[in-house]
Chain A
């Protein structure tokens, strides 16, 4: 008869009741000849039996626990979460799209695109109504004004030649704007009507104005851009002002 001890696997299988037939007999014979080993193995069996009995009571689940753990309920929650996640993603996308569209629509806002060259009209109101009181430079010489403009606003500023059209320059004044230094040159059309020629850099955003005109508060503004600066010609919005402004614009663009 062999004295080889049974494998660890067979010992456990014996403890757990998985062992049948001749191998079970072998384990039993081995244990009968090794009482100290037998004692341990039988204790293991006892422990296992005890654990089974003791833990059987832990299988109880209350209905509310069962409801919370129920696969169908969890499936439903998962589905809802997926839907709400999709909804969240969709609304995020919508926010981005709206924000983007809004941002696109609002581009250039604050650079005067809502009321183009409003600063030119304010400048006119400030000085032309008082017929040139408070100028930075007072001269009737267009050459002097050109030099003054190119030094302060930019060398590419194009001041129209208006002397032969009967306009007499009165002087100029500088203004500080968000886009940089702007200048206004005032002309007298020879009949007591004042027309302003206003130039402003496009700013860092290079916001160049399309050709246009608008009236506001009794004033008429014609504006355009030459690719480097934004220009405006402002006059009173009456018949004489319109005619004078028209003559300036024709010679300026």
Chain B
């Protein structure tokens, strides 16, 4: 694939990547940075991409791993500083107010992996096999994790339960 065609293929994916990044990092400028890093990595690793692999799944996988790496680094850093709080940071209160819809609020309250899973499957419409490839887990595990994610979303959306039950469900 020539450079302009690669660029064009990546360009069509940008809005989706940014939406995913936004729901991962919960901060617009951090999301932009994450997408930029993803595109950079995609460009430098383009040759290593399997031809049969869907571009969307490949890019989501890159973005997700970059996010997890960054989160691990931040956690280590926070631990170094001795200021480690909860594993899952909560939404800033202003944004909590902004999320009027209960389903959306519940979605925002899910752990990162459940949020990613639901976005990939229900919003992006990706196949279960693609998800299995991204997370590097068997397809059966994708199914059981998806069930847990859907129940968690229900629970949060319906009962207005804050977050603790999720810990048990994980």
Contact = CB atoms under 8 A, between A and B. Distances in A.
Interface of A: 7-9, 11-13, 15-16, 18, 40, 43-44, 47-48, 50-52, 54-55, 58-61, 65-66, 68-72, 74-75, 78
Contacts of B43: 71, 74-75, 78
Given A55-B119, A71-B11, A78 B40 contact: yes
A40 B158 CA distance: 12
A51 B143 CA distance: 19
Contacts of B18: 58-59, 61, 65, 69
Interface residues of B, dominant DSSP: helix
A52 B143 contact: no
B118 interface: yes
Contacts of B128: 9, 12-13
B39 A69 contact: yes
Nearest to B37: A74
The 3 A-B pairs of least Cβ separation, nearest first, read: A48-B122, A71-B7, A71-B10
Contacts of A52: 122-123
Interface string B56-78: 00000000000000000000000
Contacts, number: 98
Q: How large is the interface on B (under 10, 10 to 19, 20 to 34, 35 or more residues)?
A: 35 or more
A55 B123 contact: yes
Interface of B: 3-4, 6-7, 10-11, 14-16, 18-19, 22-23, 32, 35-36, 39-40, 42-44, 101, 103-104, 107, 118-119, 121-123, 125, 127-128, 139-140, 143-144, 146-147, 150-151, 153-154, 157
A7 B151 CA distance: 17
B13 to A, nearest CB: 9
Contacts of B151: 40
